[in-house]
Amino acid sequence: MGQGSGRDDLLLEVGVLTRPHGVRGEVKLHLHNPASSLLSVGDCRSVDLALEGASRQVGIEVTAASGGDLVIRVEGVQSRDQAQALRGARVLVSREQDVELEEGQYYYVDLIGCAVVDEEDREVGDVGHVFEAGASDVLVVRREGREWYIPLVEDWVIEVDLSRKRIRIRGVDQWDSWPE
């Protein structure tokens, strides 16, 4: 999401539509954070679908969970071909509808793109994506075509400053092949 003003700042990307499910127009939604409770089976709500530079607001119903993804019915979509046409659409929900986060909790999408610095404020890289790995979430930090995995825990992460889009980490010298 951009940092400017406008509707995009009020939206939270929760996942991407991946493929049709069945023949009646349902489609699979791959959540960026599979542990998210923003959408669950039985929910009916309004979302934005963003595809190929255009965005539209539609109603959805979450009909099932399938292999870590959700199966949804999109308002006005009644065939497999119509569902196929939505493949790759980003699903965004209003931040006003989201769950209040506790201190130390973050939406994955808000961490992506953050600059990562060490204890002396030297640039380490940028967060390319985040994933859940059992006991903790993991930041994937990228720099010059390389990646490092940093657990999002107090032992490694000193500070997350979303207003500055910056994450400070410790222990850089303990990692093999860390960028200089």
Q: For 87, list phi and psi in degrees, rounded to 5.
A: -55, 130
Cα–Cα distance, 41 to 21 (Å, whole number): 15
Task: Report the 10 Å Cβ neighbour count for 70.
Answer: 25
For domain 7-97, say whether CATH 3.40.50.300 is its number: no
Using an 8 Å Cβ cutoff, are 116 and 124 in contact? yes
3-state SS assignment for residue 83: helix
pLDDT in tens, the chain (180 residues): 233 334 455 788 888 999 999 999 999 999 887 777 778 888 888 899 999 889 899 999 999 998 779 999 999 999 999 999 999 999 988 876 656 667 777 778 789 899 999 998 989 899 998 887 878 889 999 998 888 899 989 889 999 998 899 999 997 776 666 555
CATH class of 108-174: mainly beta
Q: Delimit the domains of the chain by residue range.
A: 7-97, 108-174
Please tell me the number of Cα atoms within 13 Å of 89 on its side-chain side: 27
pTM of the model: 0.63
